[in-house]
Chains A and B, each alone.
Chain A
Amino acid sequence: MILKIAWKNIWRNKLRSSVVLFAVTIGLVAGIFAVGVMRGALLQRVDSAIHNEVSSMLLHNSAYLSNNESIYTLSNADTILSFLQQQDEVVGACKRLKVEAMINSGRGPRGIILNGIIPEEERLVTRIAGSLVDSSSSYFDKDMRYTPILLSSVLAEKLKVKINSKVQVDAISKSGNSAQDVFKVIGLYKTENSLFDEMNAFIPYQNMAELLEFQMSEAHEIAVLTKNIMEVDSLTYFIQKQFGEQALSSELSGEHLSIQTWKESAPDLEITTLYIDLMLYIFVGIILLALGFGIINTMLMVILERTHEIGMLLSIGMTRLKIYMMVMLETILLSLTGGLAGIIISHFIISYYSNAGINLDFAKEGFNAIGYSSFIYPTIDWLSYVQVTFMVIITGILSALYPAWRAIRLNPSEALRTE
């Protein structure tokens, strides 16, 4: 009965209640949509970083990480690879040679990281092949007079080279000799991270091993992509158990297998994923705080207008507790109605844009410079809606405290004397 009265009371002043409802609805739509957009952007960033840069985990020789010298390889890379490829949770694993090199197109040299990759394996782990924006051939074709090289379009522009241009690459071989070769640009790739793009060039693993005197079973890096990026710890444990004790290099001691999950190799990404959850609280929280003051104000007006009526209710024997509950419920229902409307509308808007995407092309450079895509697909999960609903209810309760207290503080005989 109290619930019924509370609900009907909302509609006594339709204009005023509608204004509050509208404000709550609009506020939440704006807040949820903004969170959805940022969430989408961050998830895309994480996804892109995983698929282009750090994978689920990266394996190195620990000395390679600390000294960054190309002599420190994983000598048993093929054994590790075949172990990984048998694991259920592994989508793909690939080995890479990675050496610092100078690239020259006749316009002065630039420092890069030369990656020797096996396209068939690499394809399962990263999206470099999928992000070819321009190419004269499919990935690396065999039987070419020149060794093929894959550059990013960003780097190509800096080097002023095009598809089929020749570039010269200089590097130091494993045994310390300087080596050089001329490569033919066969494709231009583009990820959402322009910094990564500028630094990385790709050539076939075999050519690189031959050029720089590496064994065919050696690699500097093994990249692994797992089905669920959030569950990498058990796999880490298994790899450690299997290979952690094995010697990596006959001559050198103090080297061991280093396994870096994406959380370690890109700590910013982990913070990003944490921030995804926090963002909802921050954004929607601030909006609800502002709306809360509006609701308090409205409810105080309501109490003032109904002074006589509350006096009457107290007189005929309604307890103060029941009156308190009635004001509480009215406030909560008012907030919740607006809240649910906001959630439903947000859901439709986000659903639409999560398919269509939002094109922020005008700011493309800026987004790409920090590793973000300018084409954003907003997303929000069901848990967020549940959280928003709770936040709205809490806002309703908090906003009702003061007005409800004012209502029960009324003295019945005085309240009855007011018109």
Chain B
Amino acid sequence: MKVIEISNLNKIYNETIIPVHAVNNLSLEINEGEFTAIVGPSGCGKTTLLNMVGGLDKPSSGSIQIQGEDITAYSASRLTQLRLWNIGFVFQAYNLIPVLTAFENVEFIMQLQNKSKSERYERTMELLEAVGLKDKKDVRPSRLSGGQQQRVAVARALASKPKFILADEPTANLDSTSTETLLNIMEELNLKENITFIFSTHDKRVMDKARRIIRLEDGRIIEDQGIIH
């Protein structure tokens, strides 16, 4: 089943003297259950692409369909609802609310969704268990390692039961052991629970884990391996 369908997407930044064509006439489909890496050197347009898919940024032209609906014309408040209910986000760093514990950070998104206390508790514990941080539930982000913080972020991203997860260079700030742990957790969630992951990276080891690799250069797809139709 198609989760995301992008066609003729363009993003041109006009703020600088020379306009930057960050995403250039890009078309792409993502299916349910994919474990896909967007790869390419720094500045190739990975973040720009993911931000537009996540409804954080408006494309200059083209369309992005999520579950058959074009989101490019959505209002700001509708995009907020889309993000809350359908998309899980993991960023490079500083993903968590510093004043809340690991448990509260995961629970927070379900509070935004007005879920009941018992449901929130159950799901939060389940997810912390899945990312192996049940024993750290009452610890604040500042007392967690970078890898642990990213695992909490993955748990948080999953808490809302989204259609897919966008992770923009989730391992860029991690050492190799933490990178491997995080990827294994993501892979397991993908395989066991059929959660769709789209993550960007320029790390060779991360790419190797992906089942599909989309290579970008200057905002264009130059290679697309492992696509499942």
Contacts and interface: CB of A to CB of B under 8 A. Distances in A.
A317 B99 contact: no
Interface string B6-50: 000000000000000000000000000000000000000001000
- Which 10 residue pairs across A and B have the least CB separation, nearest first? A317-B84, A8-B99, A413-B57, A413-B56, A317-B83, A413-B51, A412-B56, A1-B111, A315-B89, A319-B80
A315 B83 contact: yes
A63 B95 CA distance: 87
B80 A314 contact: yes
A309 B95 CA distance: 8
Interface string B146-182: 0000000000110010000000000000000000000
Contacts of B85: 317
Interface string A400-419: 00000000000111001100
A5 B97 contact: yes
A316 B89 contact: yes
A356 B89 CA distance: 64
Given A413-B56, A416-B91, A317 B108 contact: no
Interface centre among A309, A314, A416, A417 (most CB of B within 10 A): A416
Nearest to A416: B91
A416 B91 CA distance: 9
A317 B98 contact: no
Interface string B32-76: 000000000000000100010010110000000000000000001
Contacts of A145: none
Interface in A270-316: 308-309, 312-316
5 contacts: A8-B99, A312-B95, A316-B156, A317-B80, A413-B51
Contact of A316 (B47, B77, B84): B84
B81 interface: yes
Given A413-B51, A413-B57, A317 B97 contact: no
B112 A5 contact: no
B77 to A, nearest CB: 7
Contacts of B76: 320
B181 to A, nearest CB: 22
A318 B112 contact: yes
Given A315-B83, A320-B76, 11 more contacts: A12-B99, A312-B89, A315-B56, A315-B89, A315-B91, A317-B81, A317-B83, A319-B77, A322-B112, A416-B51, A416-B56
Interface string A111-122: 000000000000
Interface of A: 1, 5, 8-9, 11-12, 308-309, 312-320, 322, 411-413, 416-417
B97 A315 contact: no
Nearest to B84: A317
Nearest to B113: A317
A309 B94 contact: yes
Contact residue range for chain B? 20 to 34
Nearest to A11: B99
A312 B108 CA distance: 13
Contacts of B94: 308-309, 312
Contact of A317 (B57, B91, B109): B109
A4 B85 CA distance: 23
The A interface is mostly helix, strand or loop, or mixed, namely helix
A412 B52 CA distance: 11
B185 interface: no
A12 B98 contact: yes
A115 B56 CA distance: 88
B13 to A, nearest CB: 11
Contacts of B95: 312
Contacts of B81: 317
A413 B99 CA distance: 23
B99 to A, nearest CB: 4
Contacts of B91: 312, 315, 416
A315 B55 CA distance: 8
Given A412-B56, A413-B57, A317 B112 contact: yes
B139 to A, nearest CB: 15
A411 B89 CA distance: 16
A319 B91 CA distance: 19
B189 interface: no
Given A308-B94, A309-B94, A312-B91, A320 B80 contact: yes
Given A1-B111, A316-B83, A309 B54 contact: no
A141 B182 CA distance: 103
Contacts of B100: 5, 8
Interface string B92-123: 00110111100000001101100000000000
Contacts of A317: 80-81, 83-85, 109, 112, 160
Nearest to B156: A316
Contacts of A11: 99
A305 to B, nearest CB: 11
Contacts of B89: 312, 315-316
A417 to B, nearest CB: 8
Contacts of A316: 83-84, 89, 109, 112, 156-157
Nearest to B95: A312
Given A315-B89, A317-B83, A413-B56, A309 B112 contact: no
Nearest to B58: A413
Contacts of B57: 411-413
A411 B51 CA distance: 11
A373 to B, nearest CB: 53
A315 B77 CA distance: 12
B11 to A, nearest CB: 10
